[in-house]
Amino acid sequence: MARSVSTRSKVLNTAVAGTLGFLMVFPILWILILSLKTEEDAIRAPLEVLFNSGWTFDSYGAVQARSDYFKHFFNSVIISVGSTFLGLMIAIPAAWAMAFVPGKRTKDVLMWMLSTKMLPPVGVLVPIYLIFRDTGLLDSRLGLTLVLMLINMPIIIWMLYTYFREIPGEILEAARMDGASLRSEILYVLTPMAVPGIASTVLLNIILAWNEAFWTLNLTAAKAAPLTAFIASYSSPEGLFYAKLSAASIMAIAPILILGWFSQKQLVRGLTFGAVK
DSSP 81-96: HHHHHHHHHHHHHHHH
Return d(Cα 220, Cα 230) in angstroms, integer.
11
DSSP 35-54: HTS-HHHHTS-HHHHHHSS-
107 interacts with another protein by CB under 8 A: no
Q: Which of 32, 81, 129, 266 binds another protein (CB under 8 A)?
A: 129
- At 192, the amino acid letter reads P
Return d(Cα 199, Cα 115) in angstroms, integer.
25
Interior/surface letters 71-93, b for 16+ CB within 10 angstroms, e for the rest = bbbebbebbbbbbbebbbeebbe
138 interacts with another protein by CB under 8 A: yes
218 interacts with another protein by CB under 8 A: yes
Least distance to another protein, CB of residue 126, Å: 7
Q: Which of 133, 187, 195, 258 binds another protein (CB under 8 A)?
A: 133
Nearest to 251 by CA among 224, 222, 230: 230
The pattern of x and - marking residues 22 through 41 that bind another protein according to CB under 8 A reads -----------------xx-
Least distance to another protein, CB of residue 105, Å: 37
Q: Which of 86, 232, 259, 271 binds another protein (CB under 8 A)?
A: 232
Q: Which of 52, 115, 235, 264 binds another protein (CB under 8 A)?
A: 235
The pattern of x and - marking residues 67 through 106 that bind another protein according to CB under 8 A reads x---------------------------------------
Return d(Cα 121, Cα 217) in angstroms, integer.
13
The pattern of x and - marking residues 155 through 184 that bind another protein according to CB under 8 A reads ------------------------------
CA 145 from chain centre, in angstroms, equals 14
Return d(Cα 276, Cα 105) in angstroms, integer.
29
Q: Which of 114, 240, 254, 258 binds another protein (CB under 8 A)?
A: 240
What residue ranges bind another protein (CB under 8 A)?
39-40, 43-44, 66-67, 125-126, 129-130, 133, 138-139, 217-218, 221-223, 225, 229, 232-241
